[in-house]
Amino acid sequence: MDLYEHQARELLAEHGVLVPRAEVTDSAAQARRIARALGGRVVVKAQVRTGGRGKAGGVSIAADPPAAERTARRILGMDIKGHRVGKVMLAEPVDIDAEFYVSYVLDRAAGRFLAIASAEGGMDIEEVAASRPDAVARIPVDPAEGVTPAKAAEIAAAAGLPPQTVDVLVRLWQVLVREDALLVEVNPLVRTRQGRIVALDGKVTLDDNARFRQARWGSDDPGHHDPLEAAAAAKGLNYVRLDGEVGVIGNGAGLVMSTLDVVAGCGARPANFLDIGGGASAEVMAAGLDVVLSDPAVRAVLVNVFGGITACDAVADGILRAVDRIRPAKPLVVRLDGNNAVRGRALLDERAHPLVQQVPTMDGAARRVADLATAG
């Protein structure tokens, strides 16, 4: 379950991470009163469970309480990537000296977590990751060890973060472990001109299997889900919709994230994150393709699977089942490697479906799918 930003920041504050003062409302008139209580000048932020709010106009600075009311009225009711804005959060502004990016995410395929951090946070972190991947550090985290001060110092050093962030990195790990989270992300984490480290925005995804321990957040709110994300969740898939034209399916969060970066580096934009997990069956593969191909923005799909627990022949079987049932008009580029890869490739070769192409390497497959998606 994805938390709203105001819920995520509540968790961060409970674990000792500094956040700006803020309040949430569904009323433009109330927004004026909140702004007055926060000192007049505020940041008005749409509360939706998706990214890209700033570029969509869902985050604005209001100079005074009347402006806060006008801004809240404009943002309330907006549609941001299929999510209707029902509430806004008003936060006191922060005097920013530098912006950073930090997150912890579950890497299912590797059986561990991954710390991702960069000294260049903010709205354009995706572009930074695509154009200069060396600016984004990816550090494996052993769940049994966790993020100790020494591990946090390693992450900070690898990403070029200042030493003051070490304590925050430890606290963010505590949020992940103690609150049953699969993802904890802060973008941006900022250093103020006064030298404080403050989380300006937070994203937290809780493990659905731990809902009984996280009852205070209430039931999930399907009315605020992207329809494709809701369809994927109903199939038990870990899917996040993005803004691009290349559908991406892989097994393991680390492999999928790397695939997104490689696709972006080839000049195309990923349309989604879809992790089918470490032991995906043919049925799961078919369900994933069904969801990805339902996105009208997708022009080509890349299936990138490294077989460990997952058997590549089962993946190939799932692909063939999906194309028979869905009858897609969009090309699929498939890269299979690892467990039963030879058998999986043979299955696809035997069928020789005109829309399914095989490429043996991840880089080659990414280049091919980018060419298909951006042609014409």
- Over residues 191-226, the pLDDT tens digits come to 999 999 999 999 999 887 777 776 676 654 544 456
In the chain, pLDDT over 90 holds for what percent of residues?
Answer: 64
DSSP H or E run through 351:
helix 341-351
Which pLDDT does position 218 carry in this prediction?
Answer: 61
Using a 10 angstrom Cβ sphere, with 0-12 exposed, 13-18 middle and 19 or more buried, the burial of residue 149 is exposed
pLDDT tens, 47-57?
Answer: 998 878 888 89
Other residues' Cβ atoms within 10 Å of the Cβ of residue 89 = 23
- What domains can be seen in the chain, in order of their start residue? 21-91 (3.30.1490.20), 96-215 (3.30.470.20), 226-374 (3.40.50.261)
Which pLDDT does position 219 carry in this prediction?
Answer: 52
Point out the catalytic residue in the list 5, 120, 154, 185: 185
DSSP H or E run through 313:
helix 312-326
pLDDT tens, 15-50?
Answer: 999 999 999 999 999 999 999 999 999 999 999 988
Mean pLDDT over residues 97-124, rounded? 88
pLDDT-derived band at 350, boundaries 50, 70, 90: very high
d(CA 327, CA 241): 22
Round the average pLDDT of the chain to a whole number and report it: 89
pLDDT tens, 234-276?
Answer: 888 888 888 899 999 998 888 899 999 999 999 999 999 999 8
Q: 104 catalytic, yes or no?
A: no
CB contact at 8 A, 81 and 56:
yes
Q: 4 catalytic, yes or no?
A: no
d(CA 45, CA 25): 11
Point out the catalytic residue in the list 101, 104, 154, 245: 101
CB contact at 8 A, 271 and 243:
yes
Mean pLDDT over residues 100-125, rounded? 86
Mean pLDDT over residues 87-99, rounded? 95
pLDDT-derived band at 109, boundaries 50, 70, 90: confident
DSSP designation for 241: E
